[in-house]
């Protein structure tokens, strides 16, 4: 049964965005708390009633996952999208004990366009919420509006080029170009001090090269980074159309390992 959306006006937790939760079974008293953003290419879309396989992968590893709907309230326009996401993050920093324990580690996570938002918020959290974020989980983040990498040109057989191009144009419509580091994290020149990252892509992923380039740049800035490249056989690119696959178990295992390696 799909999880039901809850709304700020009718829920006692007063979370600032529509949200739903995936309650994982934690092995420790300090259950990890994850703020998760689903990817949909910054396109206008109805709020999905289907569970997110990516969010389920994180909850399978024991995390309490809060999936926030940033799309409807923000219109998928920068910087409004970032502001909505940051409002949700600040709420969890201040009120995390309403979802988990007061000392639960707080992480950001997202796939595709949601991965962009998670990466951007990790940068903003470094600047405005110092030491509050334990980690970031970026699942094929959509972070390069140039869309000119070799993997993109080689692997766009899944037919995402027009969707991503339209999404970038919509997202950046009111921005002054795409040089703002919170709009396109891949172009950010100052990455030192952001939260440790788990970054996942696959061999056949059109976003593979931009994902790996960002991971390498984080590592060069001395940010702890765990990178996982899944094989084509795991069906990773199904994440863009909401399809499950063997990748879900792989992500869950990698996330469990990542949690154990985080500083306490």
pLDDT at 155: 66
SS (H, E, C) the chain: CCCCCECHHHCCCCCCCCEEEEECCCCCCCCCEEEEECCCCCCCCCCCCCCCHHHHHHHHCCCEEEEECCHHHHCCCCCHHHHHHHHHHHHHHHHHHHCCCCCCCEEEEEEEHHHHHHHHHHHHHHHHCCCCCCEEEEEEECCCCCCCCHHHHHCHHHCCHHHHHHHHHHHCCCCCCCCCCCCCHHHCCCCCCCCCEEEEEECCCCCHHHHHHHHHHHHHCCCCEEEEEECHHHCHHHHHHCCCCCHHHHHHHHHHHHHHHCCC
pLDDT at 6: 85
pLDDT at 47: 74
pLDDT at 1: 52
pLDDT in tens, the chain (264 residues): 567 888 876 555 578 999 999 998 766 668 999 999 999 999 876 677 789 999 999 999 999 999 999 998 999 999 999 999 999 999 999 998 888 888 899 999 999 999 999 999 999 999 999 999 999 999 999 999 999 999 988 866 677 888 899 999 999 987 665 678 888 898 888 999 999 999 999 999 999 999 999 999 999 999 999 999 999 999 999 999 889 999 999 999 999 999 999 876
pLDDT at 241: 87
């Amino acid at each position: 049964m799909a999880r039901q959306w809850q709304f700020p006006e009718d829920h006692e937790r007063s979370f600032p965005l529509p949200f739903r939760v995936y309650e994982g079974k934690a092995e420790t008293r300090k259950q990890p708390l994850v703020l998760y953003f689903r990817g949909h290419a910054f396109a206008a879309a109805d709020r999905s009633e289907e569970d997110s396989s990516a969010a389920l992968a994180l909850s399978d590893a024991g995390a309490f996952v809060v999936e926030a709907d940033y799309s409807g309230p923000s219109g998928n326009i920068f910087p409004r999208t970032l502001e909505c996401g940051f409002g949700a993050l600040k709420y969890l920093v201040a009120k995390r004990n309403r979802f988990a324990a007061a000392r639960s580690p707080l992480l950001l996570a997202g796939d595709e366009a949601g991965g962009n938002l998670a990466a951007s918020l990790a940068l903003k959290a470094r600047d405005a919420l110092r030491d509050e974020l334990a980690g970031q989980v970026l699942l094929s983040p959509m972070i390069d509006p140039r869309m000119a990498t070799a993997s993109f040109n080689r692997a766009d057989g899944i037919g995402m080029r027009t969707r991503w191009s339209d999404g970038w144009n919509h997202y950046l419509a009111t921005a002054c170009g795409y040089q703002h580091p919170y709009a396109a994290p891949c172009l950010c020149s100052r990455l030192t001090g952001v939260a440790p990252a788990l970054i996942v892509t696959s061999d056949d992923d059109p976003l593979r090269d931009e994902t790996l380039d960002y991971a390498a740049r984080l590592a060069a800035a001395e940010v702890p980074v765990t990178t996982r490249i899944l094989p084509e056989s795991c069906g990773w690119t199904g994440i863009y159309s909401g399809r499950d696959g063997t990748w879900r178990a792989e992500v869950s295992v990698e996330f469990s390992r990542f949690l154990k390696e985080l500083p306490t």
